[in-house]
Amino acid sequence: MATHKTLSKVNLTPPESRARPQNKMTLLQKARQRYFSNLLNSFLTLSVIIAFILILPPLLQWAIFDAVFIGSTQEACEVAAGACWLPIAARFDLFVYGFYPETETWRVNLVFAASFFTLVVLVWRRISMKLKLVYIVAFLPALIFVLLYGGVFGLDSVSSNKFGGLIITIFLGLIGSILSLPLGIFLALGRRSTRPVIRIFCVSVIELFRAMPMITWLFMGALVLQLFLPNGMEVDKMIRVVFILVLVSAASKAEIIRAGLQAIPVGQFEASAALGVGYWRTMSMVIMPQVLKVSIPAMLNSFIGMFKDTSLVAIIGLLDFLSVGMATMNSDEWGKYGIEVYIFVAMIYFVILFTISRFSLTLEKQLETGH
């Protein structure tokens, strides 16, 4: 710590001569250089501008100026020349909370807050990596389970049949992704194991879950799994779906981690072994921190894919965020306003996933060690 402080006092600004030449171009020059440097660029720039001029005004006219925002019944929309955003207003609670009891929605809000807070935790420099991992892998899933299901700490128990909308999407996406991380690590390590039994087992699990479509596994989890359970034993459908999502996503994460493992120079393993450090300590103290660091972009990519894949649960009858939108389009009152609902659903997905990808970019920059 002391050296760090003295270091920070040293003037590290580069001398004047080595500084980057200042860009003295005016805005107009810059624009010319960037967008009209040659014939092709000028043509492309102009086409984009024309496209905007053609598309944007009618779009705005439809989506905002001619649109109906106020009212609560479909009648209010009959007069609209543009979009009708009332189905979203009228069913906002359904979109977000599904059928969750109205008095308990604060628990859902808390889950959303905790999920968002996770992103903050991820990029918070003052928190150690270990603490971050504990928060994400252990604390957050436990918190989400307790809050959503209740039944402990004096919280009313809520059946998962009451989940719907964004709850399902966030719950499945988040829990599936998080719990698959430790499993993925073990599968990746097992795949490189020298013991044939472990290796073959891990390879089979990975290949099996990677080689079959998610929908097949969802059917399996939703329907067939229940048939194998002993009579009278019931596992919540949502849990079975999470189980499937975790396995599917762990299989893909295992491959990401394996790629990370292969990127670690073999000298690292050897040095650790030479120092007499055991396998698990080598893995947890030396190898994994480096592996996780290099795999973060791929992991977040897999998370984003996973988050979107949760909409597949519609085929087994779970009403996730997108399905609530579809239900809205099938309803009598709001059946005419399918486009608006699709736009709303797409926008929410975009906002969530774009936020996550921005945070992951920040995280990547932070971890950049500049080899």
Give backbone dihedrals phi and psi of 122, rounded to 5 degrees, phi first: -55, -40
Q: Rule CB under 8 A: is residue 102 a binding residue for another protein?
A: yes
DSSP codes, 202-248: HHHHHHHHHHS-HHHHHHIIIIIHHHHSPTT----HHHHHHHHHHHH
* Distance separating alpha carbons of residues 350 and 198, to the nearest angstrom: 40
Of positions 33, 42, 216, 330, contacts another protein by CB under 8 A: 330
Q: Rule CB under 8 A: is residue 199 a binding residue for another protein?
A: no
Of positions 3, 11, 231, 369, contacts another protein by CB under 8 A: 231
Q: Rule CB under 8 A: is residue 137 a binding residue for another protein?
A: no
Q: Rule CB under 8 A: is residue 141 a binding residue for another protein?
A: no
Of positions 338, 343, 357, 359, contacts another protein by CB under 8 A: 338
* Distance separating alpha carbons of residues 89 and 340, to the nearest angstrom: 11
In the structure encoding, which two tokens stand for residue 279, read together?
A: 């396998």
**Binding range to another protein, per CB under 8 A, among 169-177, 314-322, 350-358, 360-368:** 314-322
Shortest gap between Cβ of 179 and another protein (angstroms)?
23
* Distance separating alpha carbons of residues 95 and 321, to the nearest angstrom: 6
Q: Interaction with another protein in 239-268: which residues (CB under 8 A)?
A: none
Terminal-to-terminal C-alpha distance of the chain: 23
- Among residues 169, 186, 183, 172, the alpha carbon closest in space to that of 137 is found at 183
Question: Could you tell me if 333 and 81 are in contact, meaning their C-beta atoms sit under 8 angstroms apart?
Answer: no
Of positions 82, 83, 97, 253, contacts another protein by CB under 8 A: 97
In the structure encoding, which two tokens stand for residue 318, read together?
A: 């779970």
In the structure encoding, which two tokens stand for residue 76, read together?
A: 């209010």
* Distance separating alpha carbons of residues 27 and 105, to the nearest angstrom: 51
Of positions 203, 298, 316, 343, contacts another protein by CB under 8 A: 316
User: How many other CB atoms sit within 10 Å of the CB of residue 302?
Assistant: 19
In the structure encoding, which two tokens stand for residue 276, read together?
A: 């007499």
Of positions 67, 77, 83, 94, contacts another protein by CB under 8 A: 94
Of positions 10, 106, 332, 369, contacts another protein by CB under 8 A: 332
Q: What is the total count of residues that contact another protein (CB under 8 A)?
A: 44
Nearer to another protein, 36 or 342 (CB): 342
Q: Rule CB under 8 A: is residue 335 a binding residue for another protein?
A: yes
In the structure encoding, which two tokens stand for residue 38, read together?
A: 């040659």
Alpha-helical segments (H) within 229-369: 237-263, 266-274, 279-281, 288-309, 321-330, 338-367
Shortest gap between Cβ of 330 and another protein (angstroms)?
5
Q: Rule CB under 8 A: is residue 227 a binding residue for another protein?
A: yes
Shortest gap between Cβ of 141 and another protein (angstroms)?
24
The residues that touch another protein, with contacts defined as CB under 8 A, are 90-91, 93-94, 97-100, 102, 159, 161-162, 164, 219, 222-224, 226-232, 234, 237, 314-319, 323-324, 326-327, 329-333, 335-336, 338
